[in-house]
Structure 1
Amino acid sequence: MGDASAWAAWVAAATSLATLIVTTVIGGRREHRKWARESLTDAFVAFLEASWAHSDIVRDTPAEHPLNVDTAQAFYAEMRSQLTRLRLLASEEVLQAGEDLLRCQRAAQEALPGLARQEALATAARSRRIVVAAAKREMGLP
C-alpha cells in the first residue's frame, strides 16, 4: 500500500464516494423542491377551480329557483379539502387569503337572490384575486 498507484486508487475511490454522496444529497433536495412546488401548484389550481365553479353555481341559479345546495356544497367541500393541502404546503399569508375566500363563498351561497347575492359574489371575486396574488408570491412568480 506504499506505492503511488495504490494511493491514487484510494484517493480516486474516496473522491468518487464523496461525489456520489454530494450528488445524492443535492439531487434529493432538488427533487423535494420540485415535488413541493408541483404539489403547491396543484392545490392552488384545484382550490381556485372549485371556487370558480361554486360561484358559477350560485350566480347562474335563477332568482325564482332554489339554489342546488348539494352541488354548491360539493364545490365548497372541495375548497376545504384543498385548503387543508395548502395548510401543509403554503405560508400563513396564503392560508389567510384562502380562509377569507372560503368565508366569502359561504356568504355568497347563503345570500338571498338579487342584489345581496351579486354583492357577495363580487366580494368573493375580489377575495379570489387576493388568493391568486398570494399564490403567485408564494411561488415566486411575477
Structure 2
Amino acid sequence: MSQIQHLSRRVFEKLLKESGVDIFNGAQGRILYVLWEHGQLTITEIGRLTSLAKTTLTSMLDRMEAGGLIVRIPDKRNRRQIFISVTEKANEYREKYDWISDKMSEIFYDGFTDDEIIGFESQLRRIIKNLEKEGV
C-alpha cells in the first residue's frame, strides 16, 4: 500500500508539472479538491476529508493563502471558527486538476475489466470502514 501511495504521488506530481500546474503540489491539490467539492470548510473538516494532520495542514494552508489559492473567512457567529474557501485563482485550475485525476484513474486501472475495478473498489471501501471503526 505504501509503495502504491509513493508511486502514485510521484506520477501525480509529474502530471501536474507536465500540465503546467506549478502553483500547487499534490497534497495541496487534495485540499483544493475537497474545497471544490464541498465549498468552504473548517480546518478540522479539511483534515478529516484529506487525512492530513492538522499541523501539516496549517502550514500548507499558509502557503496556499500566500499563493492566492485560498482565503480564511472568520465565522461571524463564532470568532474562534475559521472557514477556508478557494479563490477565483484556484478555480482556474479546476479543469486541469480534474483532467489529471481522470488520467490517474486511467493509469491505475489500465488492463482492468469493469468487474475487477468494481470489486477492487468495494474491497477498498471495506478496508476504509474497518479502519474508521478504530476511531482514529
Q: TM-score, normalised by structure 1?
A: 0.28
Structure label with greater radius of gyration: 1
Pick the structure with more strand per residue: 2
Q: Going by fraction, where is helix more abundant, 1 or 2?
A: 1
